[in-house]
Chain A
Amino acid sequence: MEQFFQQLTNGLAIGGIYALIALGYTMVYGVLRLINFAHGDLFTIGAYLGLTLLTSLALTEHLSGFLGVGLLALMVMGLVSLIGILLERIAYRPLRESHRLSAVVSALGASIFFQNAIMLIYGAKYYVYPQNLLPNTPIFILGMPIPLMRILILLASILMMIALYLFVQKTRIGTAIRATAIDQAAARLMGIDVNRVIMIVFCIGPALGGAAGMMVGIYYGQINFTMGWIYGLKAFTAAILGGIGNIPGAMLGGLLLGVIESLSSAYISMAWKDAIAFVVLILILIVRPTGLLGERVAEKI
């Protein structure tokens, strides 16, 4: 039983990261009906920028660990959202009126561009975050030692998700985002600046992805320029699982995918865990083609 709970927390920690990245996919899809394949690479950029800022500004030396990391997270989120806005301007906006496939190809191209740009700027080697940025003493929950970092990561992702949910549901801009997701043309007729809404979406999604990249860097230590691929793929799967275009769906899908992965590798086979996760995905899509929470089409995003 202890092993079960231990594996459950392992799964939730991984799932929290997936969920945070999945939000970026799902928001962009909700508004533009576009799978932003470059999102995984924005996540990587977040991890690299975090490391660069951390080593060049030495924030955690001047401030306490938590304050320093918090400030760092804000800076990384700001920078990555700038890159997200540029990405939309350069790679997606010119193709807004063309066929959907063109935009997908453009997204794939942007992904390859980012990955190779990171490799050329930083080099192909692995980079390592400084250790012990934050205290990592185990905390005992139900008698099980759980590293503090893992709890913090899960908490940070859940907090960011709740903040996003409230933003989209309760604010005027959030309402505009939802209206644009339902019908762009009608939203424009109602006086909503659709370009601005899309810009905001490309601000929030990459910011969350970048934050996730930085969290992965701090927690696991090791980053490299191909890391976005596997996380992007998993997060994309999570977004589909929860119902793409749906924000709570992305959170649920991410956490669920993490838990399915860790439990199936604990009790069936580790080598087969991805296969099992995808079988579960297919089964869910057979029963619910729109994903777990994807039924409220009218309220997408």
Chain B
Amino acid sequence: MKRLLCLVAGLFCAMVTSTQAADAVKIGLMGPLTGAWAGEGQEMKQVVGLLAEELNQQGGVNGKKVEILNEDDAGDPRQASLAANRLATQGVVAVIGTYGSAITEATQNIYDEAGVIQVANGSTAIRLSEKGLASFFRTCPRDDEQGKVATATIRKLGFKKVAIIHDSTSYAKGLAEETRTNLKNENIPVVFFDALTPGERDYNTILTKMKAADPDFVFFTGYYPEAGLLLRQKKEMGWAVPFMGGDAVNNPELVKIAGTAAAEGFLFLTPPLPKDLDTPEARAFVAAFEKKFGNAPRSIYPVLAGDGFRVIIEAIKGTGSTDPVKVSTYLKKSLKDFPGLTGKISFNDKGDRVGEVYRVYKVDNQGSFILQP
């Protein structure tokens, strides 16, 4: 018992001293380390952790080491606000994250009031950057951008009767409504518009109902677990309508869930995949990641989190300061065409990333994601 007590006390001391070891630049990472999106969150932690490690080996930033504080938002707004409060009180300069829009929204004001910069990596809902928060940034594009690309793709492919399904999350619903409005303006009728409940397994009901509306194209704006099941059950019904997904379906698990035969021909919009990144920085990073973890990053959002980390470091270097106001002004005014892992990065006054990011991908008969020209 005594030995156990000593051990516990020792661990406690070690923890206290390690947090005090400081004069390091502290940067928070808030991601879904557990919960339904834990796959994304765990990889975010790996990506940012690796970048920080590399940076520290090269001597850190402005002569200081960088320390990453990881907090779990569990993909849940309530948990996220607790995580945000914890990070905000630990003296972080900036927080990278998070993935889901609703989760980011729950934390925006907490960071803003604490004067902490937030760089979201997967939250694409439009309103997040329309609130006039000076210290909010994102390295992912916004839904209205994606809605425009979706509409253009549908027009280009020449479909006349479109069905749209979302899953009632702020991201999916926003994208679905944006696309519906755009399609209306283009006189392409939307014959079906409804929501499914994520986390269920049986979507035969929605498919049967949708089939009765007889669309010639279906756009699903939700996440990959449901997209995979929809494709699988659609195939089982013997219904051959073409499907397209938004950027939340971009995950290889999609093909596993649907089965290769059911996933073949599925289109989706997304920022480029890690394997299609073609800048030298990106290739070097993907190689380093593969060396350390045995596989390339599976999803682009963790890489976008890495870009969030890199722009923050760049701004701290550029200003020679960790003052949040100076850093965010630098990001908006002085950072132009920064060579990010996912392409060139600049921010506008709202903190949104400027420039075309989306590409169209198609699943081939091997289940691979092929970039469409």
Report how far A123 CA is from B41 CA in the complex, Å.
12
Contact mask A121-137 → B, CB, 8 Å, 1/0?
A: 00011101001000010
A124-B208 contact given A136-B236, A216-B201, A221-B257, CB 8 Å threshold: no
Given the interface pairs A126-B257, A271-B194, the reply to whether A222 lies near B202 with Cβ below 8 Å is: no
| With A119-B34, A124-B39, A266-B208: A220-B197 Cβ-Cβ less than 8 Å | no
- Do the beta carbons of B205 and A126 come within 8 Å of each other? no
> In chain A between 270 and 284, which residues have their CB closer than 8 angstroms to a CB of chain B?
270-271, 273-274
Residues of A with C-beta under 8 A to B225: 126, 222, 224
Q: Please state if B34 and A220 are interface contacts (CB–CB under 8 Å).
A: no
Let me know if B39 and A125 touch, CB within 8 A: yes
In the complex, what residues of B have CB within 8 A of residue A10's CB?
Answer: 202, 204-205, 208
In the complex, are the beta carbons of B199 and A226 less than 8 A apart? yes
Give the size of the chain A interface in residues (CB under 8 angstroms). 37
Cα of A14 to Cα of B201 in the assembled complex, Å: 9
Judging by beta carbons under 8 Å apart, are B202 and A13 in contact? yes
B38 touches A270 (CB 8 A): no
**CB-defined contacts of A287 to chain B, threshold 8 Å:** none
Q: Which residues of B contact A224 (CB under 8 A)?
A: 36, 225
Contact with B along A226-241 (1 / 0, CB 8 A): 1101100000000000
Q: Distance (Å) between the CB of B178 and the closest chain A CB?
A: 17
The residue from A126, A147, A230, A266 contacting B256, defined by CB atoms under 8 A apart: A126
Q: Does A7 interact with chain B (Cβ within 8 Å)?
A: yes
User: For chain A, what secondary structure do more than half of its interface residues adopt (helix, strand, loop), or is it mixed?
Assistant: helix
With both chains docked as a complex, state the minimum distance between the C-beta of A111 and any C-beta of chain B, in angstroms: 14
| Cβ B236 vs Cβ A273 within 8 A | no
List, in ascending order, chain B residues with CB within 8 A of A60's CB: none
Are B209 and A125 in contact (CB-based, < 8 A)?
no
Smallest distance from the beta carbon of B333 to chain A beta carbons, Å?
39
Contact A270–B257 (Cβ < 8 Å): no
In the complex with contacts A128-B256, A131-B259, A221-B259, A119-B38 CB distance below 8 A: yes
Task: Please pick, from A131, A136, A220, the residue contacting B202 in the complex, using a CB distance under 8 A.
Answer: A220
- Summed over the interface, the residue pairs from A and B with CB atoms below 8 Å come to a total of 87
Is B202 a contact of A270 with CB atoms below 8 Å?
no
What is the bound-complex CA distance between A116 and B33, given in angstroms? 12
Asked if residues B194 and A270 are in contact (CB atoms below 8 Å), the reply is yes
Complex partner residue of A270 from B199, B206, B212, B253, CB under 8 angstroms: B206
A52 at the interface (CB under 8 A from B): no
Q: How far is the CB of B76 from chain A (nearest CB, A)?
A: 11
Q: Bound state CA distance, A271 and B202, in angstroms?
A: 14
B248 to chain A, nearest CB (A): 14
Residues of B within 8 A of A119 (CB): 34, 38
Closest to B226 in A: A222
Assess whether B335 is interfacial by the CB under 8 Å rule: no
Q: B182: CB under 8 A from chain A? A: no
What separation, in Å, do the CA atoms of A262 and B206 have in the docked complex? 8
Known interface pairs A125-B253, A221-B257, A265-B206; A230-B36 also in contact (CB < 8 Å):
no
Q: Is B229 positioned at the interface, with any CB of A under 8 Å from its CB?
A: yes
Decide if B253 touches A126 in the complex (CB within 8 Å).
yes
* Cα(A274)–Cα(B194), bound, Å: 14
B197 in contact with A273 (CB, 8 Å): yes
Find out whether the CB atom of A6 lies under 8 angstroms from the CB atom of B256: no
Q: Are B205 and A227 in contact (CB under 8 A)?
A: no
Against A, the Cβ 8 Å flags (1 = close, 0 = not) of B92-118 are 000000000000000000000000000
Within the complex, what minimum Cβ distance (angstroms) separates B161 from chain A?
Answer: 18
Q: Is the pair B205, A265 in contact by a Cβ cutoff of 8 Å?
A: yes
Tell me the minimal C-beta distance from A133 to chain B in angstroms.
12
- B35 & A270 in contact (Cβ 8 Å cutoff): no
B373 contacts the other chain (CB 8 A): no
Q: How far is the CB of B72 from chain A (nearest CB, A)?
A: 11
User: Quick one: which of B152-209 are within 8 Å of A by CB?
Assistant: 168, 194-197, 199-202, 204-206, 208-209
Is A291 in contact with chain B by the CB < 8 A criterion? no
- In angstroms, Cα B34 to Cα A119, docked, is 8
When distances are taken between beta carbons in the complex, the residues of chain B under 8 Å from A219 are: 201
Task: Beyond the given A126-B39, A221-B232, A270-B196, please list 12 additional residue pairs across the A-B interface where CB-CB is below 8 A.
Answer: A7-B208, A119-B38, A216-B201, A220-B229, A220-B232, A221-B257, A222-B228, A226-B35, A262-B204, A262-B205, A266-B209, A270-B205
A-B contact pairs, 25 of them (CB 8 A): A7-B205, A7-B209, A10-B202, A119-B34, A124-B34, A124-B39, A124-B41, A126-B225, A126-B257, A128-B253, A128-B256, A216-B201, A220-B201, A221-B257, A222-B225, A222-B228, A226-B35, A226-B199, A227-B201, A230-B197, A230-B200, A262-B204, A265-B205, A271-B195, A274-B197
Per CB-CB distance, the 7 closest pairs between chain A and chain B, nearest first, are A124-B38, A271-B195, A220-B201, A10-B204, A262-B205, A222-B257, A270-B194
